[in-house]
Amino acid sequence: KAGVTQTPRYLIKTRGQQVTLSCSPISGHRSVSWYQQTPGQGLQFLFEYFSETQRNKGNFPGRFSGRQFSNSRSEMNVSTLELGDSALYLCASSLQGWDEQYFGPGTRLTVT
């Protein structure tokens, strides 16, 4: 079956702008989690959606938000971008949320 897909793969934005990233999970997976990956901090959990509801949330400011649609596709939005938001944003899907995570290729966001 098709893996997790993320669009776009690369994005360059300037400070103050906003950005929306998209994630399509594996068919049948109801949980989608988002992570920020940086060389210094590793994988940091942003939030998890399950059946269109945010079930878990990490310690990120309110500028980071997300949603999940009825087909389980998820979007993540970052408003008022800062230089420190430059990172690889990974999404992962799973059947239940606490089981094996299947990761997408990531979206590389660069903020200038």
Partner 1 sequence: AQRVTQPEKLLSVFKGAPVELKCNYSYSGSPELFWYVQYSRQRLQLLLRHISRESIKGFTADLNKGETSFHLKKPFAQEEDSAMYYCALTPSGGYQKVTFGTGTKLQVIP
Site for partner 1 in 50-89 (CB under 8 A): 55-56, 58
Q: Is 8 an interacting residue with respect to partner 1 (CB under 8 A)?
A: no
Q: How far is the CB of 109 from partner 1 (least distance, A)?
A: 17
Min dist. Cβ of residue 14 to partner 1 (A)? 28
Distance from C-alpha of 60 to C-alpha of 36, rounded to nearest angstrom: 10
- Helix (H, G, I), strand (E, B), or coil: what is residue 85? helix
42 binds partner 1 (CB under 8 A): yes
Please tell me whether residue 93 adopts helix, strand or coil conformation: strand
Residue 96, by phi and psi: left (phi above 0), alpha (psi -120 to 50) or beta?
Answer: alpha
Q: Report yes or no: 83 and 101 within 8 Å, Cβ to Cβ.
A: no
Instruction: For partner 1, give the closer residue by CB, 104 or 111.
Output: 104
Q: Tell me which residues touch partner 1 (CB under 8 A).
A: 3, 33, 35, 41-43, 45, 48, 55-56, 58, 90, 92, 96-106
